[in-house]
Structure 1
Amino acid sequence: MNRGRCECGRVVFEVSELRKTVTVCHCSQCRRTSGHLWASTHAPLDAVRFIEDAGLVWYASSDHARRGFCRNCGSSLFYQENGEGGIGIAAGCLDDTEGLRIGKHIFVADKGAYYPEPEGSGAG
């Protein structure tokens, strides 16, 4: 069981089944909502249990997805495509990241000009 939370603790959750790979997204939308890039793992919805969700709000970031964040501290926590049976979870909000590793980089062609292309990622 892994636990995650926002910075202020108004969103706290446990996840029982977590993908061991992290996807790093460099698209402009992820860069704006996270402040740099979005690094997330994934879990089935029924594997996530909220202990505290008083701060959780959802923002429809496009016609096909929404993002969950804390209304109090602003922590960016979740990404979910409409109708998906799973949820993207920000790797940085997890208490235990032992065993997680970067699996892939996506939308690298859209990355910020201020940092180099990730090694071995290829354009795309």
Structure 2
Amino acid sequence: MKAQCVCGETILEFDLIDHNVNACHCSICRRQTSGVIMTINIKQGSLKFIKQDHLSIYNSSSWGERSFCNVCGTNLFWRTKDQSYCNINVFSLDQTIKDLNFNMEIFIDNKPNFYSFNNSTKKLTEEDVIKLFNAQSED
């Protein structure tokens, strides 16, 4: 599967784990996107850069980094610094996937009260997310 930025200067290739879509309500995602970011998980080690001259990586925390095109500003992916986990901006996919399933919201305790989704989703707090990634790094 491929994804790209708005201007086409950054192109990625990867394999999806499944068709489940997640929404992140953390303060960084909301500030970066002026809303939530909706992502889809990819298989570990499958991320390849087809066109990367304008790919920038931002170290957004002690354990995660974000990527964007430095020409048009499109958010492309978030990954752990050890690259054991990565998700892609679902709206950057080149191909339309008909059976996407919006099934999880993370950092739900950071979500402002003025919006909500109608979907019934699994909801993880900031503490839940940190525990999840800490448990994965201990494996």
Q: State the partner residue of 2:128.
A: none
Q: CA deviation at 1:20?
A: 1.3
Q: State the partner residue of 1:67.
A: 66
Kindly tell me: are residues 36 and 113 of structure 1, through their superposed partners in 2, closer, same or farther at Cα, counting changes over 3 Å? same
Post-superposition Cα deviations, 1:69-116, rounded to whole Å, max 9, x if no partner, equal 010000011101121323111101002241221121112221133313
1:1-124 alignment, distance < 5 Å? 2-98=1-97, 99-116=99-116, 118-121=118-121, 124=125
1:46 counterpart SS class: coil
Relative contact order higher in (CA < 8 Å, ≥ 6 apart): 1
* TM-score normalised by length of structure 1: 0.86
**Identity percentage over the alignment?**
28
* TM-score normalised by length of structure 2: 0.78
8 A Cα contact 1:108 1:117, kept in partner? no
Kindly tell me: are residues 66 and 115 of structure 1, through their superposed partners in 2, closer, same or farther at Cα, counting changes over 3 Å? same
> Matched residues in 2 for 1:42 and 1:3: separation?
13
Q: CA deviation at 1:15?
A: 1.9
In terms of mean alpha carbon deviation, does 86-95 or 105-114 score higher? 105-114
RMSD of aligned alpha carbons: 2.0
8 A Cα contact 2:20 2:102, kept in partner? yes
- The one-letter amino acid of 1:50's match is F
1:20 counterpart SS class: strand
Kindly tell me: are residues 111 and 55 of structure 1, through their superposed partners in 2, closer, same or farther at Cα, counting changes over 3 Å? same
Moved over 6 A (4+): none
Q: Which runs of 5+ in 1 are unaligned?
A: none
Kindly tell me: are residues 32 and 75 of structure 1, through their superposed partners in 2, closer, same or farther at Cα, counting changes over 3 Å? same
